[in-house]
A and B are shown apart, each in its own frame.
Chain A
Amino acid sequence: MELTPPQLDLIEASNDQKIFLEGPAGAGKTTAGVERMLYLMAQGARADTILVFLPQRNLAQPYYQALRNPGLVAGGTVDVLTLGGLAQKMVQLFWPLVSEQAGFAHPDQAPTFLNLETAQYFMARVVEPMIEGGAFDTVTIDRNRLYSQVVDNLNKAAVVGFPHTELEQRLRGAWIGEISQAHLYADAQQAALRFREFCLEQNLLDFSLRVEVFLKHIWSVPVCRDYLSKTYNHLIYDNVEEDTPVSHDLMAEWLPQLESATLIYDWDGGYRIFLGADPASGYRLKDHCQEEVTFNHSFVTTPEIQEFTAGLEISFNLAEDRLDSPFVSPSQPIVEDPASKPAVGDVRSVLEFETHRFHPQMLDWVVERASYLVEDEGIPPEEIVILAPYMSDSLRYSLSERFDRSGIATQSHRPSRALKDEPAAQCLLTLAAVAHPEWGITPVSYELAYALVQAVDGLDLVRGQLLAEIVYRSKDGRPTLTSFDRINPDMQERITYQLGERYENLRLWLDSYSLNPVDELDHFLSRLFGEVLSQPGYGFHHSRDAGQVTANLIDSARRFRWILAESLTDGSGKDYVQLVQQGVVAAQYIRRWNEPSEGAVFLAPAYTFLMGNRPVEVQFWLDVGGQGWAERLYQPLTQPYVLSRHWPPGTPWTDSEEFASSQEALYRLSTGLIRRCRYKIYLGLSDLGEGGYEMKGPFLRAIQRVLQNYPADAPGTQVETH
């Protein structure tokens, strides 16, 4: 894409400029940020003195892409970091200088970094005795969500920048409902305090403690500060509006010491409010820059699509003084790019919709329209996204199965997924239980059959069940497998000798292992994988996915083992397996933020798509009548708005604030999506939702109001139901 004169002016600004660049999504700001980075390098700035700072890792994609260009100047490499990444790096390096003053009980010993999974595990250890003592008795969410909300509270305190000891006071001060809820806040506070104490006692650093140690201690030690200021001279800070107040504070302090800086701010962002993002806090960095630049030409949207945004703003009836709200980022009218204008028309030329009675019919329609676009209009599948507020497994499955039937590939983005739901992991865990009869974990017969089907190449479920019924026994709570040779010949023939031999090798391997078992579950898994399951004749041999899942499971189990050993906490392979199976530990693994696969329609939750920051030709919005588009997740132990820097402690959070904030969030979400759409939006509507509920949510009503300004065809009213 050719750069515009304003983009070129910014990119080629002198090497000592501090620039604040703002504008709507799709105005070419990130492109300018990437080119600015390359320009600085071409002008002789050492690449390793440039820091690209971002609120979230996946936003780094355009920068990484540019940095992998073969023709890039020779030299060092640019660092691309988030606050979490920077804090982790600095704590790793300078731990010996701050461990004592930060209050750790063993300052001479190495720190242990917790990821979300291990943090949840330790939180469970802290909270379980509290629950047994009667705490959290009125809470109705499951335990894993309870733990993660307490972890989230600690993270909020760290990124908003208030003491974690004030959580209860802030949450309680804003609460106007029943007193039992106030007790929950007291319990959540206790859990946070105990968890923090436990971490300090055991040298454990969860995300919140990493950030606090970095900001409160490392940042003020001269040798650390010196390291940072000698290392980095140039800053590119993209998506400032999606970052947290402490990141903004850090940058406000750091900016005067930097040679140049380019700060990039998206007007309608703030999608990560529930993760502590604070657009208003970010906007104050403008005062720290000498140059202010606005790009307000959209390269993405057409006038009709922009009219849709304007219509929604009126339709949502957002308060006139909303721009004074600290939760709202500044916004100005967008000027469309004249070159991208198609024939002038009304909003309806970019919206297509059809109402159906039942949810499956709506899904059929979506797939039928998408197929038409690919096959008849020649739109590449990767230019089509299917979006819903949340993507349940069943919705994901229903869609990908329909697309499969239409011969169109899909790429489903599920950021994290529980390992226990993966067939390969289930197989490994079941076989682990069989190999360790002393654990006393006895899989049921169908679990074993299922594991054998995964393990033995060519074994189908019918024969797998047959085999399991014959060879699998549990004696005194100890699972055992008997030999294929002892099965009667008819049955052997039915199962086939070849499959029988494979089974027998697996059994012998497990048998011989159990004579001399090891304490390290991950070592067992690695051997089982390498010596049997991935060998020719076994189910993992041809499976890339099984390799990946096994690698993730091994990695998770190993991390647990190391952390437990370092924290001198008891725990064995058996405990790990139970934790995974119970879901106490989510055992989630992180899938990479995939680059869109060529030739595949992308299925994703709406916020995930937004944070990918990738415009597309066509968007399908599913279940537009559902409540999910507007409702905040039910979180009885935390509250993102109340814990923000802008909510004065002690001020009640009322229904009207809740209503206004959800309207605002919905408006932002919809405009964010619209501004990442070049051609058309399809609305999937059904009278009854996936769960059979009536679908007349606020998003649908807002869109109807926009369309009612036109003579006919408002969705859900005039359109015929099929």
Chain B
Amino acid sequence: MTLLPLDFQFSQGSLQDYVDCRRRFQLRYLDQLAWPAVEAEPLLEHEQRMRSGAEFHRLIQRYLLGVPEKRLSTMMDSLGPEGSDLKRWWGNFLQFANVTPGGNTLVEGVLSAQFGSFRLLAKYDLISWDMDEPDRRVTIYDWKTSRQRPNRDWLAERLQTKVYPYLLVQAGEQVTGLGKLSPEQIEMVYWFAEHPQEPQRFSYSDEQYQQDHDFLAGLVDEVGSLKEGDFHLTADESRCKFCTYRSLCDRGTAAGSIDQVESDLEVETEQDFDLDFDQIAEIEF
């Protein structure tokens, strides 16, 4: 019997964790263990980057939803020195935005589809398509704010590069209104805020789609078949430097340096606030 809950949802993040380290997958997704050690050093710089990255995504979202560019630029101008990255990225983005195709967009949208006995889910920064274009191309954009521009081979192997276009073929019909999407219509673009002129583009194809399907299906089957003792620690101990569970696995004490990180570490999503019974201190239950 599988250890996965029946309603488990796979994402590129959880699959990447699985590929990197089975144990991490178990601790994070099956046990949902909060383990707040330092992820990368220097901590303050890491934190600042994470915050700026999240703020940049919000900024682009505002822009794409119709908040005037001028207004957003005024806000950028008022930022202090701690906002210098954000300002630079914004300037770079505006140049890029001038050359990207317009048309229809899905901004910060989540798609999901059945995958084997589970669900596969992904959150996209931007999906863009043009109804009037003859070949009806659909482009997935992902904004990266890391300092380094990862090399193409490394990116090609990332689960994100496999899951995003694959899932768009599966679930894109409903959101784009373009009918059943074929892999040939799809392109995935990583745009680097620090390297605006050098996006990495990955065209999709039937062949790649089939390969991704086989790979992902194999992975999900494998995860589903594992037993309690099968979630081994990774053999590549360099991964443990950026993993908060290192104390639990007896894999060292201190975190690795942020400069060695290939790309963005995952950005935490902010919790939304709400007024409900939970938050009324006054009502002492």
Contacts and interface: CB of A to CB of B under 8 A. Distances in A.
Interface stretch (A73-81, A249-257, A358-366, A698-706): A73-81
Interface of A: 44, 46-48, 55-58, 65, 68-77, 82, 84-85, 88-89, 92-94, 96-97, 106, 108-110, 113-116, 120, 144-145, 148-149, 152, 155, 159, 207, 210, 223, 226-227, 272, 274-275, 390-391, 414-416, 518, 520, 523, 525-527, 529-532, 534-536, 541, 544, 547-548, 550-551, 554, 586, 588, 590-591, 593, 604-605, 607-608, 611, 633, 635
Contacts of B114: 70-72, 74
A278 B173 CA distance: 41
18 contacts: A47-B174, A70-B115, A75-B174, A76-B106, A85-B272, A89-B272, A93-B62, A93-B67, A108-B75, A148-B282, A149-B282, A207-B274, A391-B285, A530-B36, A536-B247, A554-B36, A590-B279, A607-B283
B203 to A, nearest CB: 23
Given A76-B110, A148-B280, A70 B244 contact: no
Given A65-B7, A70-B117, A534 B281 contact: no
A607 B33 CA distance: 30
Contacts of A635: 282
Tier of interface size on chain B: 35 or more
A94 B173 CA distance: 29
B273 interface: yes
A530 B37 contact: yes
A531 B38 CA distance: 9
Interface string B38-58: 100001100000000001001
Given A530-B255, A547-B33, A416 B281 contact: yes
Contacts of B274: 56-57, 82, 84-85, 88, 207
Contacts of A391: 285
Nearest to A155: B275
B134 to A, nearest CB: 25
A452 to B, nearest CB: 19
A536 B110 CA distance: 40
Contacts of A84: 272-276
Those 8 A-B pairs whose CB atoms lie nearest each other, nearest first:
A530-B37, A75-B174, A74-B113, A68-B7, A551-B34, A74-B171, A605-B285, A108-B78
Interface in B173-217: 173-175
A110 B254 contact: no
B250 A56 contact: no
A275 B175 contact: no
B123 to A, nearest CB: 9
Among B37, B281, B284, the one with the most A-chain Cβ atoms within 10 Å of its Cβ is B281
Given A88-B273, A144-B281, A526-B37, 11 more contacts: A48-B106, A71-B114, A73-B174, A74-B171, A82-B275, A207-B273, A534-B248, A536-B247, A547-B36, A551-B36, A586-B281
A75 B282 contact: no
A275 B247 contact: no
B247 A530 contact: yes
A550 B36 contact: yes
A120 to B, nearest CB: 7
Interface of B: 6-7, 9, 31, 33-38, 43-44, 55, 58, 61-62, 65-67, 71-72, 74-75, 77-78, 106, 109-115, 117-119, 121, 170-171, 173-175, 244, 246-248, 250, 253-255, 272-285
A109 B272 contact: no
Given A70-B6, A97-B67, A75 B171 contact: yes
Contacts of B113: 74-75
Contact of B36 (A46, A526, A541, A591): A526
B272 A534 contact: no
Contacts of B275: 82, 84, 155, 159, 207, 275
B272 A530 contact: no
Contact of A607 (B78, B171, B277): B277
Given A148-B280, A391-B285, A76 B36 contact: no
B44 A523 contact: yes
Given A56-B277, A92-B58, A554-B36, A520 B75 contact: no
A54 to B, nearest CB: 10
Contact of A145 (B65, B171, B250, B282): B282
A400 to B, nearest CB: 16
B278 A416 contact: yes
Contacts of A58: 276-277
A421 to B, nearest CB: 13
A399 to B, nearest CB: 14
Contacts of B66: 223, 226-227
B95 to A, nearest CB: 21
Contact of A76 (B55, B109, B117, B284): B109
Which of B31, B37, B254 gathers the greatest number of chain A CB atoms within 10 Å? B37
Contact of A88 (B36, B44, B272): B272
Given A58-B276, A275-B275, A414-B285, A94 B67 contact: yes
A97 B58 contact: no
A611 B255 CA distance: 43
Contacts of A149: 282
Contacts of A415: 277-278, 285
A666 to B, nearest CB: 16
Contacts of A56: 274, 276-277
